[in-house]
Amino acid sequence: MPRGSVQRLFEFSTEGRHFDLQTIFDRINRRYFRNRLRNYTITWGRRRRQKPESYIVFGSIQEQDRLIRIHPLLDREFVPRWYVEYVVFHEMLHAFVPDKYDSAGRRIIHHEGFLSREKKFRHYRAAIGWEQENLGRFLQ
C-alpha cells in the first residue's frame, strides 16, 4: 500500500449496487483519454446521514492523491449509466486539462478550454438535461 496519504489507508469500494466505478473509469479512460490516466483510484464517497438540502456535488477529485470520489446517491436504479459516466468523465477531465489562473492569481477550473472539451462527451447534452430535470430527486 502506498504511504504518505491518509486517504490511502482506507479500503475503497468501486462496486455499488448498480454501477461498478472501476469498469466505468476504465471505459472512459480508454475511449476519451487513450488510457493516459494512470494510477488513479475511483471510489464511492461516504454515505451521509442527511440528504443535501440545496445543492449536491456528484463528484470530486483530489489530484495530489489521484483519488476520484463519486457521490453514492448516484448508485441508484433510476440513474442512467451514461449520467454516471458523464460525472466520472468530468472528474477525469480535471486531471487531464490544466487549470488556468486569472490576473489576480485565482484558479479557474471550469475555463473555456475545459468546457469545450467537456462537451465532447458523447451524452453531454442528455446528461446536462437529465441533471436539471432530476436534481430535486437527490435533495430534500
Classified as helix, coil or strand, 71 is: coil
Q: Report pLDDT digits (tens) over 126-136.
A: 999 999 999 99
CA distance 79 to 76: 6
Give the chain's residues under pLDDT 70. 1-12, 51-53, 140
Q: Are 86 and 120 a contacting pair, CB within 8 Å?
A: no
Q: Are 75 and 69 a contacting pair, CB within 8 Å?
A: no
Q: Are 61 and 67 a contacting pair, CB within 8 Å?
A: yes
CA 60 centroid distance within chain: 5
pLDDT for 3 equals 44
Sign of CA dihedral 20, 61, 125, 72: positive
User: In this structure, what C-alpha cell is assigned to residue 133?
Assistant: 430535470
Q: What share of the chain has pLDDT > 70, as a percent? A: 89
Domains assigned to the chain: 6-137 (3.30.2010.10)
Classified as helix, coil or strand, 25 is: helix
Q: What is the pTM of this model?
A: 0.87
pLDDT for 97 equals 96
